[in-house]
Amino acid sequence: MRNLEFSPLMRSASLYSPFNQLFDELERPKNLSKELPYNILKLDADQFQIVIAAPGLTEGDIHITATQNSLSVSSELEESDQEIEYLHKGLSGAAFSQKFELAETIKVVSATMENGLLKIDLKREIPESLKPRRIQIGKPESVEDTAS
């Protein structure tokens, strides 16, 4: 009985996988909103900062919403009535939406806009019930038998 060798077929099928990925990407619906570049900074053990590059946007253009475990930053820009002919358009000016998942102990403190950078300050606030406690080693207190 002959054994069939399938490895040459498998190698040739792998050549088509980049094309399959390309076609899959083309078939996916495009999201109208985009994400802006951002950094997440650790300022110290309990303070963090999200810095989002938002060129051309003002404080009034950006909406920040903090819920229990998430932070949402978005903008819906209105179309300009002016007809401008761009020779090169590197700044898209399209609406954007970004979501950040936050731990239960992270709270949004403030937000500032400076030189096209949106800075959102975060702070870790650990409730007393979740903080570690030091337990003293010693004899347990005597418990009197109340059943007798």
Residue 7 lies in a domain: no
User: Which carries the bigger pLDDT value, residue 68 or residue 109?
Assistant: 109
In this prediction, residue 73 carries a pLDDT of 94
Please name the amino acid found at residue 90: G
Residue 47 pLDDT > 90, yes or no? Answer: yes
Residue 69 lies in a domain: yes
Residue 146 pLDDT > 70, yes or no? Answer: no
pLDDT tens column, 57-92: 888 889 999 998 899 999 886 666 578 887 887 766
Judge whether 76 and 95 are in contact, CB under 8 Å. Answer: yes
Among positive and negative, which fits the CA dihedral 21, 22, 25, 26?
Answer: negative
Please name the amino acid found at residue 145: D
Please name the amino acid found at residue 68: Q
The Cα 140–Cα 143 span in angstroms is 9
Residue 3 lies in a domain: no
In this prediction, residue 84 carries a pLDDT of 80
Residue 113 lies in a domain: yes
Closest CA to 74 of 121, 32, 132: 32
- How many distinct structural domains can be found in the chain? 1
Residue 72 lies in a domain: yes
User: Which phi and psi angles does 85 have, rounded to 5°?
Assistant: -95, 115
Pairing of strands 47-53, 117-124: antiparallel
Residue 99 lies in a domain: yes
In this prediction, residue 90 carries a pLDDT of 73
CATH of the domain at 102: 2.60.40.790
Gap between the terminal Cα atoms of the chain: 86
pLDDT tens column, 13-46: 444 454 455 445 454 444 445 788 999 999 999 9
Q: For residue 55, give its domain range.
A: 33-78+93-127
